[in-house]
Structure 1
Amino acid sequence: MQRLIDRLGPNGPYIALALTCLLGWAFKAHCGAGWTWSEQYITGCYSDAVPFWGLRGVAAGQIPYLQARMEYPVLTGALIWAEGVLARVIGGRGADAADFLNAVVLVNAMLAYVVLELMRGAGVGLRRQYGWALAPPLVLYLGHNWDMLAVTFAVTAILAARRGEMVKATALAALGGAAKLFPVLMLPLLGLTALFRAGRAWPRRIRDAALLVIVAVVAWGAVNVPVAVLAFDNWREFYAFSRERGGTAASVWELLAQFNWWVTDLPTRNFWSFVLFAGGAATIVAVGWRRHRDRPWLLFMPVLAWFLLTNKVYSPQFDLWLWPMIVLTGTRLRAMALFLLGDLAAYFAEFWFFAGLDGAWPSATQADILAAAIVRGAAMLWLIHGAIRDPAPRWIAIPRPSTPPPEDRPIPAG
């Protein structure tokens, strides 16, 4: 493996990512714009882009929130509108859902390249670069939804924090929260980084932490407040939908209910989901503090993993939120491999379950989903354990060189 990496050289990850994105496009696009005989579930080619083309005014070019309802945060709504424009450029007057899917894949592929370039610029080792460039979750989810925008914000924020640029990291994490909610989980960790920075007096630390709060509010508000003022009901739909949503097939809460282990109503599920997440996240930070008190932002990956485990909704593409953070900060290779196996198993178990509901084959049961969720959950707990106990990855500990290495010099693989 190392010999192959050396032979491909520093541009190898670019080639690998191109192949991965091509596979991701083929995986979703082979079904076309219309689905028959539950093929979207049987083959796994389901994409939110296909039904969304005819919903929320995308095909008609309506402006999200102002002219059409939108169930996503503001920046994702803007991205969907822009991709709708691109789809009409690609397909002309006859543009359809297939053109929209192609536009979604194209934009997500560009964002995947941005993430790779960010990793390379930060001095991330070649093996970790290949961990992103050859990521199976990219094949599964490149054309599935619009998560890559928030992923890009989150990765950029983590790398800014690594450089000590806390204001920039906070602004990026807040903007990521205006695309999908999960980057907001980084904000308390950035605040702790400022509040407990060594070598500074407490008044200075408090001022720095307060500044980050202001930056987060201003950054998030800059893109949300204008839309909320002009179209409050449509703007709040995402937040109302999140609160009122019951769960998904692979979430721990839905599995507990399906097997009659713990059946709860929605308010109770919302309450305990929050309590378990808050308590677990606090424990992760407390236990990981001894190892990572100089870099609390390193605990974002285990906190995010715990959030996914305790959240009432666990859609398949949520694994794409976590994987780049695992690539950047993960320390247990076997746990990473087990997570990928669990992700693949959970993906097809869930969609084959839907196929079975339609009377199609192959089909899966709730027991199959449970088995896949156990594999994935065990991997995530293993990753959490490693993140709070192991030293930071080597690329984080090594100062960034002032000049890039020559093209013919091998780049460290760690």
Structure 2
Amino acid sequence: MGKASGEEFEQRVHPTLDDPVVAGVSESVGGPMGTHGAPSRFWSPVGVLLLLTALCFAVGMAQKASCANSVWQNGAENYNHMCYSDLPPLYYGRGLADGHWPYSDDPVVRAQFEVMEYPVGISYWAWATAEVTRAIAPGGSGRDVATEARLYTAVNAVGFALLALLATWFLAGVHRRRPWDAAGFAVAPTLALTALINWDLLAVTLVAGALWAWSRNRPVLTGVLIGLGAAAKLYPLFLLGGIFVICLGRVRSRGPDRDSDALLTFARVAGAAVAAWVLANAPAYLSGPAQWKVFWTFNSERGADLGSIWLLMQQALDHTMQPDLINKVSWLFFGAWCVGVLLLGLAAPVTPRLAQLGLLIVAGFLLVNKVYSPQYVLWLLPLAVLASPRWRDLLIWQAGEVLYFACVWWYLGEYLAPAGGGDAGFYWLAILLRMAAELYLVAVVARDILRPQHDPVGDRRELGWSARPSGRLLSRS
């Protein structure tokens, strides 16, 4: 083992010495890292993390096995086994099984199939994996679309597994001295449970990549990844808000880290994000502008839906809320929340990390969104493991999310319906507990921002600061 590797090993933060929960668990396998611990060429942190990610993903696939056997066509089984996935029904319900381009304006196609209601990045992925599925599916006159749907799900699962591995690699590289922080993503129960529900992992991986690029002081690449992420799901765009707070704080700073060019850095990130988003959307818009608009109109016109505080209020008050009212109130709340994050970031004694600010903004959006699908927990996952790399806090938050995951399927299967009729009050409780768990994580991160001495990431040498050619420090991830 070379000298450089040995020095890197000595500088690395070991979780058994840094986190009380991990230290306690380590007692069952010999205790925390000792003075005689030595680096290994094979068992590097990244290698172990990738292995853990693969095992976690395999557990998730096993959990979906019962639905796969019935090709997701047994409605009761989808809910009582909690293994539902959007992929099979959308494969043949959106024309993907017949090879139709998602943004085709052919009237015959549109009369037969609904338009994909997702952003273009997901639609491209769904279409491309459908083409792969059709290419490798058994030929012959007796085409079995149901079996093809199972194959389609398997093709996507392989792609999702690669995305999860890539996300882990990105997260492990954000803080050079703290690669083990990515373990919170690699072994997350919510990753195993929700990865195959929809295509959200595509945006999640691009967010992880943006965090990595920002930690490497590569603003243009950061912007490109944010733009591509926003083309798959809207929420990666909120990272621009975090970067703006960081850059504005750098301009206003009176300390040694003041940088009058920081807003130019933000402009580069934002410009690259917009350019990437426009280029990603161009093929869809040019081939079918009316079909491209469906995502925007669908989300604007939908009412209170699963998991949202709006659904809870609507059922509890026995009053249907109009989508327009929900839109106005939720965006007003979210705007006020973002102003609060801005003031919090500017009041911080040390410039917050991008993961911290990103988590606060995305959490605010999810708290008042019109729907909270079970897989939306993945939006917060890469941000959470870097913003608050404490296993105690992560486990508390994950417990709330896992409870909601179980209850939403029981609710849909009507297992929570009271015997005497009426609304499922236990489902309301699950929504509130999930929101409370998210607010707990928000409170912990906000405290760490205002009182950096509580931040487990530690001093600046551990924060992913990058030296510019001028010698000044610019970014923290």
Q: TM-score range by the shorter chain?
A: 0.7 to 0.9
Q: Relative to structure 1, is the Cα distance of residues 189 and 121 closer, same or farther in structure 2, using a 3 angstrom cutoff? A: closer
2:51 aligned to which of 9, 12, 15: 15
The alpha-carbon deviation at position 39 of structure 1 amounts to 0.7
Equivalent residue number for residue 205 of structure 2:
152
Residue number in structure 2 paired with 1:87: 133
SS in 2 for 1:308: helix
1:201–1:163 CA distance, 2 compared to 1 (3 A): closer
Distance 1:335 1:152 in 2: 22
The match for 2:80 is: 42
Q: Alignment partner for residue 103 of structure 1, among 132, 155, 167?
A: 155
Amino acid across the alignment from 1:276? F
Offset of residue 232 of structure 1 = 0.5
Q: Percent identity?
A: 30
1:407 match: none
Q: In structure 1, what is the equivalent of residue 195 of structure 2?
A: 142
Letter in 2 for 1:76: I
Deviates more, 1:166-175 or 1:388-397: 388-397
Which of 72, 80, 92 is residue 118 of structure 2 equivalent to?
Answer: 72
Report which stretch shifted further, 20-29 or 330-339: 330-339
Render the CA deviation track for 1:318-346: whole Å, top value 9, x for unaligned: 01111121112115543321221111111
For 1:289, the aligned partner's letter is L
Establish whether residue 24 from structure 1 lines up as the match of residue 76 from structure 2: no
Pick aligned residue for 1:335 from 393, 399, 422: 393
Aligned pairs, number: 400
2:277 is matched with 220
| Structure having the higher Rg | 2
Distance 1:396 1:274, change over 3 A: farther
Cα distance change, pair 332–379 in 1 and its aligned pair in 2 (3 A): farther
Q: What is aligned with 2:474?
A: none
Task: Tell me by how many angstroms 1:357 deviates.
Answer: 7.6
Partners of 1:160 and 1:169 within 8 A in 2: yes
Q: Select the residue among 90, 94, 97 that pairs with 1:59.
A: 97
Partner in structure 2 of residue 382 of structure 1: 440
**1:70 partner letter:** M
Q: Do 1:166 and 1:194's aligned partners in 2 also have CA atoms closer than 8 Å?
A: no
**Alignment of 1:238 onto 2:287:** no
Of 304, 307, 310, the match for 1:250: 307
In 1, distance between residues paired with 2:63 and 2:331?
35
Show structure 1 runs of 5+ residues with no match. Answer: 403-414
Equivalence for 2:413: 355
Which amino acid in the other structure matches residue 178 of structure 2? G
1:260/1:350 Cα in 2 relative to 1: closer, same or farther (>3 Å)? same
For residues 64-104 of structure 1, the C-alpha deviation after alignment (integer angstroms, 9 at most, x for no partner) is 21366221111111110121123234433355111111112
> RMSD value over aligned CA atoms?
3.0
Task: Tell me, in whole angstroms, the C-alpha distance in 2 between the residues paired with 1:43 and 1:90.
Answer: 29
**Contact kept in structure 1, 2:248 and 2:262, CA below 8 Å:** yes
Normalised by the size of structure 1, how large is the TM-score? 0.87
SS in 1 for 2:99: coil
Partners in 1 of 2:426 and 2:65 — Cα distance?
A: 27
Question: What is the aligned partner in structure 1 of residue 457 from structure 2?
Answer: 394
Match of 1:2 in 2: 26
Q: Which residue of 1 aligns with 2:219?
A: 166
User: Which of 355, 380, 403 in structure 2 is aligned with 1:345?
Assistant: 403
The letter of the residue matching 1:288 is G
Residues 304-327 of structure 1: CA distance to partner in whole angstroms, max 9, x if unpaired?
111101111111110111112111
Distance in 2 of aligned mates of 1:158 and 1:282 = 22
Return 326-335 or 131-140, whichever deviates more: 326-335
Q: How far is the alpha carbon of 1:231 from its aligned partner?
A: 0.8
| 1:107–1:290 Cα change, 3 Å | same
Paired residue type of 1:373:
I
SS at match of 1:246: coil
